[in-house]
Structure 1
């Protein structure tokens, strides 16, 4: 089954251009022409990724993003701003509203397709099947983590990080790969970001599962 992508933009020519090209790549594509319609459409089709314009009438991209993040059923939906507003301050406000990434206009289609493929790989680390390893169960499709049968609440980045590590128990993931697959190559985060998230995960699932390989990265052990 192909990934579902929702395009939200008030410019018809952009909607048609992007939709046509993404459908050629095999994606199932839906469209909305303003933020309010975008929220309603997202709740209807449950897309894997929403490509969201920043500047729109009625409800701008920031408010639309906030509204989308209010719905539990869209927790694991990736939200990517497609916008001409590329300054750092605008990007930071977008991330604060719940966005996962930014792609700048004007659109170069081959770059957009490449970026979307990389972003979609972050969803469930490419595997939506439930996994049970060492008393910790993770179900990426349902956004559920349990430890010894008891459900644990994780923020989105902690969930994505744990999903990645549990996708291949025993494998060492380098810090660079973790940054790329969980935060994205174009997202600037501090050097201690991974360490902070790892510490929080250990507090919730136990110290024995996530192993540090000093100066290299982390791995999950059963």
Structure 2
């Protein structure tokens, strides 16, 4: 049973999320502050962390920065669930290491769908072969195909496609893509991302429509 840590200081909301996760077959653990959450992740293994940003004491963004530097939980998926809903807040959260961002108020059905997607994504990491919606990539042979037909991709295009296929529905900011694929940090290179995405879409044919632009933020691959 997947264990999910909920860090939320609103007791009614925390109880609601815990109840729905439990009835969906998960094992939730809730806390109202990030300091206690640090002790929990030190003592036990979690498959997913749901993180509020505005908390008493240690703030959510500070907690995220700390755990991304801890070997034990550096790769644990984190979904921010916050009332901070500006474009800047969402980009900052994703760039800080969150795997997804859900703004309050939210639909429980959406929360559960995102939870399931993050957990599926986490189990796919490390496989040589990955596939999504008829698109297949093989990390060992560096071959990619669409509906069984091989396509020729440049090295960075392959890396981008593999990242999207392994992480369906995950929103990547341009800065995240620059850092992950090219190792760049500066915003001045964001056109490089756009150019490669455009080329990749064309090579994927109709499947290229699955790579969706997220206005003013970045890109994601549709399920």
> TM range, normalised to the smaller chain?
0.5 to 0.7
Establish whether residue 215 from structure 1 lines up as the match of residue 170 from structure 2: no
Shift of 1:4: 1.1
Shift of 1:165: 4.5
**What residue in structure 2 maps to residue 26 of structure 1?**
25
TM-score, structure 2 length as denominator?
0.63
**What residue in structure 2 maps to residue 42 of structure 1?**
41
User: Secondary structure, in 3 states, of the residue corresponding to 1:172?
Assistant: strand
How many angstroms apart in 2 are the aligned matches of 1:76 and 1:34?
Answer: 21
How many angstroms apart in 2 are the aligned matches of 1:58 and 1:192?
Answer: 28
**What residue in structure 2 maps to residue 63 of structure 1?**
62
User: Secondary structure, in 3 states, of the residue corresponding to 2:203?
Assistant: coil
> Runs of at least 4 residues of structure 1 off by over 3 A?
164-178, 188-196
1:161-207: CA deviations, max 9, x gaps?
Answer: xxx8459996637967842642x52514449949972899xxxxxxx
Establish whether residue 185 from structure 1 lines up as the match of residue 184 from structure 2: no
User: Secondary structure, in 3 states, of the residue corresponding to 1:26?
Assistant: coil
- Taking the TM superposition and a 5 Å limit, the aligned residue runs for 1:6-155 are 6-125=5-124
How many angstroms apart in 1 are the aligned matches of 2:57 and 2:121?
Answer: 31
- Are the structure 2 counterparts of residues 199 and 186 from structure 1 closer, same or farther at C-alpha, using a change threshold of 3 Å? closer
Long gaps (5+) in structure 1 = 134-163, 201-211, 218-222
Shift of 1:102: 0.2
The CA RMSD measured in Å over matched residues stands at 3.6
- Are the structure 2 counterparts of residues 166 and 29 from structure 1 closer, same or farther at C-alpha, using a change threshold of 3 Å? farther
How many angstroms apart in 2 are the aligned matches of 1:82 and 1:194?
Answer: 25
How many angstroms apart in 2 are the aligned matches of 1:49 and 1:66?
Answer: 16
